[in-house]
Amino acid sequence: MPLDRFWANEVLSYNAKLLYDESTWNGPHNFFNKIVVTRSNIEFLEDLGFWWQARTLASHLNKFLKEFTGPLKDPIPLRGERIPQ
């Protein structure tokens, strides 16, 4: 399987479904597992040069977190970005 944009879009689609599908990983500890898996895939996509998919997935992750924590003051920065102070 070549690592092309179609593959990267499948990774993006899988993670978006993982975050929002309540029939998967329902336990309270699995909330954190979803975050860990998604952050790992964001970094993986960044490392392979699929910046658009990584950014879109980071946006989905921030939206997912807002559902549980309310509005975040600052979005979660991607690797290499400065954290606003």
* pLDDT, tens digit only, all 85 positions of the chain: 578 899 999 999 999 988 888 776 666 667 788 888 999 999 999 999 999 999 999 999 998 888 776 555 555 666 666 655 5
Asked if 18 and 34 touch (Cβ cutoff 8 Å), the reply is yes
Residue 82 included in any domain: no
Residue 46 included in any domain: yes
d(CA 1, CA 30): 30
Number of domains in the chain: 1
Query: Token match 């600052």: residue?
Result: 74
d(CA 40, CA 56): 14
Residue 74 included in any domain: no
Residue 48 included in any domain: yes
Residue 78 included in any domain: no
Residue 50 included in any domain: yes
Whether the full predicted model's pTM is greater than 0.85, yes or no, is: no
Residue 85 included in any domain: no
Tell me which residue range forms the domain holding 60.
5-69
Q: What pLDDT, on a 0 to 100 scale, did the predictor assign at position 10?
A: 94
d(CA 63, CA 73): 13
Residue 84 included in any domain: no
Give Cβ neighbours of residue 25 (< 8 Å, ≥ 6 apart).
18, 31, 33, 34
d(CA 31, CA 47): 25
